[in-house]
Structure 1
Amino acid sequence: MMIVSSDLQFGALFLMIIGGISATAAFIMFTEISQFLKFPPSIVINILLRRRLLAVLSVGTFGSGLFLATLSDAGSTPVLIISALCFALVFYGAFLFIPYKVFRARQNGAGYLSVAEIETTTEDTISPDDLVLVVEINGDCRAFPHKWIGQPHIAGDTIGGEDVVMTYCMLSHLGMAFSPTLEGKKMDLRVIAQLENNLVFYDTVSRQPVRQFRGVTEGSHQALKQFPTQVMPWRSYRRLYPDGKVLFNPPQGWIDRLWLWMEKKIIPRHLNSDWMLFDTMGEVDGRLPGKEKIWGMAADGHAVAWTLAYLKQSCPFAASVGGRDVVIVYDRDLDTVSGFDGTLGGKAVAADHVDIRGQSPVGVLNRVPVYSAVLWMIWANFYPDTELYTG
């Protein structure tokens, strides 16, 4: 039965407008529009923390308004249908398109092949100099080629008995591996945004966003357990870890192929020139060119960065970061950098004879996390007071 009332009609339209505004605001904040408009990261994070509330508010108000509109004849049927379709499109773009369609995280169900299988596959190829992110735990190894983790940004597996997710941000040229466990519960991680040219992912269980570089939940300020990673050419991985496994994630469907085209055409320009895809960094620390890649460590408020030229000139060497003794090793032949705990059994270890896998005359050293080949502008943005060693 149709109920005609001007007050009811006004209320219906008001609720539909509120729902539409809420969905549009979410669309702006949760897509790259907010970056082009240069919204402060703190505002975006605060809205991300209320992501589910905003989704419920949008659907609840618009849906209620639409229901009342049909009862009160607040609009013609075609107008209401078009309004509903527009709302659905905006809502999909705000809350579902990026995490579930464009950047489909592979925390679960990612495919891995052996080195031998990768070498013989004809579906897609990897070149000797293609870069891979590497995690080694208890002798078990995984490689995550940049070309195959770039689309999902997140890929998981059990490595050496540990549940691990590798996260990769193309804009920062940074891979970081974490344990997807928070307060004893397994996280469900989704790509949701980027802020200041660094990946932001979201845990649908705790409803917490995490900025990759920090590895800390933005609402509860809990640090995720981090696993050490390396960057190396594919030729080095297959030589170091012939029995290791490799993420295999060739493009599937037109969206993946469109992303692959962008990856080939746009990302190299972003990484290798003064141009930035998202110019949201403010003034870049002038001690180095913004796009130069550095290796860095940070602990207890103390940050240290090394250029590749310095590493080639000085490695292996001992350093102290936040009061922790570490050993940094660069292997020229393999073209990769590793960081290790500088003590073994409570005693300092001389760096001179430590190799890229942590082998030393007194035993095998434990790996420590190193930010590998990250852009200087990203590092300096998060650690403006960093020490810097150049060649």
Structure 2
Amino acid sequence: MPAALCRISTAAAIVLAAAACSGAATDDSGDAVGPSADGRATCVPLAEFENGDVANAPVQDVAFPWDRPDPVVLEGFDFSRVISGGPPPDGIRPIDDPCFDDVATADEWLQPQSPVMVVEVGDDRRAYPLAILTQHEIVNDVVGGEPLVVTYCPLCNSGLAFERTVDGQVLDFGTSGRLFQANLVMYDRQSKTLWTQFTGKAVVGEAFVGTELVRVPTSLLAWEDFRTAVPDGVVLSPDSEPGRDYGRNPYTGYEDSGDQFLFEGDRDDRLPPNTRVVGLGADGDPTAVVLDHLREETVVDVEVDGQPVTIWWAPGQASALDRETVDGGREVGSTVAFVRDLDDGMQLTFTPLDEVAGTFRDEQTGSTWNLLGEAIDGELAGTKLDPVSRDDTFWFVWFAFQPDTVVVSRS
């Protein structure tokens, strides 16, 4: 079948696309009815999505900053604190040609508690299992037609996504093998500029130093929450890089070790270093909500950057950094954050629905909301809250990048 006929325009059509592009049989409705020759449904390559095949900018023939005699460094940035994490550039290999499964196929290997990173651009909603991201850290993707770099730093538990079009050029990113404040340092392959994952800022390199990538809000959720809320969503497939042992956690016990691996930053004794926090307001009003406090309250309202924000917690998600397997970690739950104001000026307040975990009710209209900020029942059904960029991370790294942060806790 010609490749052009395999293009798909919506996530809901992924099953049909997989069948058409792999030669699997379909019934009269066009739905796939059989697996591929090896007994497993075929994942759909990024290039088969509408606008998914985006040409990257040309690569320049330049050396990495640490091999240059006088690299350009962002004013105030301490380049000496960029240290080797062990592997060489791309020794932790990014996924450059992602392939996607539908929810039913992903459900064959993911568990209800499996942690996944959720990225949304328009109607295109994707889940990236941390079982995969832990071993690759970077996915160069195109979501909703927007070129993105989807990133996860296991040492910080920071799952962040950024637009990767800079000055009209589509950059593609790799892992530099370096760390800054125990955080992943990325590089773009076009100019070998170094970028910190936690801020998305170019810190060393002639081409883009000082530039900050545009952040796209993300969430770390339990697989059960994503598959329930987005039954027609797509999921990063293990077949993107076949043959990997994606269930294994290479950072067993890291979360409780109290020893911040390769961390050389300043410390703050308001909280133990590995305390999990929800960090918000990184652009000017940094706030850290202690996870244990949020877990106890379930809903915490704060004001960040002049906006009224509601933060929710729901049970279910396992820690990816605790036990020998990613799915076997202790429960840490899921957090999300949204602006409480609607477009018509109504400001909402929320309480959890005890009878259905991961759902919330607004006190103004009685409508029911899911963890993606969608009203799924009631007067406001079909309404969607605006997501707020936030980070589920550890106190030591949040403070290292946001030393002026306010702490919201039980005390």
Report the Cα offset of residue 152 of structure 1: 1.7
Deviation at 1:250, TM superposition (A): 6.1
Once the two structures are superposed, what CA deviation does each residue of 1:331-384 show, in whole Å capped at 9, x if it has no partner? 346742221223332625222245323246654221121112x01111111112
Which AA in structure 1 matches 2:88? I
* Identity percentage of aligned residues: 26
2:134–2:154: 8 Å Cα contact kept in structure 1? yes
The match for 1:169 is: 153
Q: For the Cα contact (< 8 Å) 2:161–2:215, is it kept in 1? A: yes
Q: Partners of 1:287 and 1:343 in 2: how far apart?
A: 32
Q: Equivalent residue for 1:235?
A: 224
**Secondary structure of 1:222's aligned partner:** coil
SS of equivalent to 2:253: helix
Match of 2:52 in 1: none
Corresponding residue for residue 98 of structure 1? 88
- Which of 249, 260, 283 is the equivalent residue of 1:264? 249
Instruction: Return the structure number with greater helix share.
Output: 1
The aligned counterpart of 1:160 is 144
How far apart in 2 are the matches of 1:252 and 1:342? 40
Aligned to 1:357: 372
Tell whether 2:366 aligns with 1:381. Answer: no
Shift of 1:134: 0.9
Q: Work out the CA distance in 1 between the residues paired with 2:172 and 2:140.
A: 11
Partner SS for 1:157: strand
Q: CA deviation at 1:199?
A: 0.5
Say if 1:299 and 1:322, in contact at 8 Å, map to a contact too.
no
Deviation at 1:252, TM superposition (A): 5.9
Q: Distance in 2 between matches of 1:144 and 1:169?
A: 13
Counterparts of 1:60-75 in structure 2 under 5 Å?
none
| Counterparts of 1:253 and 1:357, CA distance in 2 | 30
Q: Does 1:324 align with 2:307?
A: yes
Q: Cα distance 1:131–1:290, how it changes in 2: closer, same or farther (>3 A)?
A: same
What SS does structure 2 have at the residue aligned with 1:126? coil
1:164 to partner: Cα distance:
2.1
- Going from structure 1 to structure 2, the CA distance change for 1:180 and 1:45 (only over 3 Å counts) comes to farther
Q: Which residue of 2 aligns with 1:32?
A: none
Asked whether the 8 Å contact 2:82–2:180 carries over to 1, the reply is no
AA in 2 matched with 1:232: L
Give 2:78's aligned amino acid. Answer: S
Q: Which residue of 2 aligns with 1:64?
A: none
Are residues 1:42 and 2:26 paired?
Answer: no
What SS does the aligned partner of 1:202 have? strand
- In the alignment, is the contact (CA less than 8 A) between 1:149 and 1:249 conserved in 2? no
The letter for the 2-side match of 1:225 is V
Shift in CA distance, 253/164, structure 1 to aligned 2, threshold 3 Å: closer
Aligned mates of 1:300, 1:165 — CA distance in 2 = 20
Cα distance in 2 for partners of 1:251, 1:280 equals 35
Unpaired stretches in structure 1, ≥5 consecutive residues: 1-21, 28-39, 49-92
Q: Is the 8 A contact 2:81 2:181 kept in 1?
A: no
Q: TM-score, normalised by structure 1?
A: 0.67
Contact 1:317-1:351 at 8 Å conserved across structures: no
Question: Aligned in 2, Cα 1:287/1:46: closer, same or farther, shift over 3 Å?
Answer: closer
2:110 maps to what in 1? Answer: 126
**Tell me, which stretches of 5 or more residues in structure 2 are unaligned?**
1-62, 69-75, 318-332, 351-360, 363-368
Root mean square deviation, CA, Å: 3.3
CA contact (8 A) 2:337 2:389 kept: yes
Does the 8 A contact of 2:97 with 2:240 survive in 1?
Answer: no
Amino acid at match of 1:98: P
In structure 2, which of residues 215, 226, 229 is the aligned counterpart of residue 226 of structure 1? 215
CA deviation digits over 1:16-62, x for unaligned, max 9? xxxxxx99x759xxxxxxxxxxxx972347999xxxxxxxxxxxxxx
SS state at 1:378 partner? helix
From the CA coordinates, give the structure whose radius of gyration is larger. Answer: 1
Cα shift at 1:201? 0.3
Name the amino acid aligned to 1:276: Q
CA distance in 2, matches of 1:197, 1:341: 31
Shift of 1:113: 1.0
What does residue 286 of structure 1 align with? Answer: 269
Give CA-to-partner distance per residue, 1:189-227, whole Å, 9 cap, x none: 111021111000011224321101111111531221111
* Shift in Å, 1:160: 2.8
Return the match for 1:115 from 103, 108, 116.
103
Cα distance per residue 1:88-118 (max 9 Å; x no partner): xxxxx99xx7334x22222x31121112112
Which AA in structure 2 matches 1:294? V
Alignment match, 2:182:
197
- Count of aligned pairs: 298
What residue number does 2:389 align with?
A: 369
Question: CA separation of 1:118/1:329 partners in 2, compared to 1, >3 Å: closer, same or farther?
Answer: same
In structure 2, distance between residues paired with 1:206 and 1:47: 20
Query: 1:278-313: per-residue Cα shift (whole Å, max 9, x none)?
Result: 24234x322222112111102443210112222233
Please state how far the C-alpha of 1:178 moved relative to its aligned partner.
0.6
**1:194–1:286: structure 2 CA closer, same or farther, 3 Å change rule?**
same
Secondary structure at 1:343 match in 2:
coil
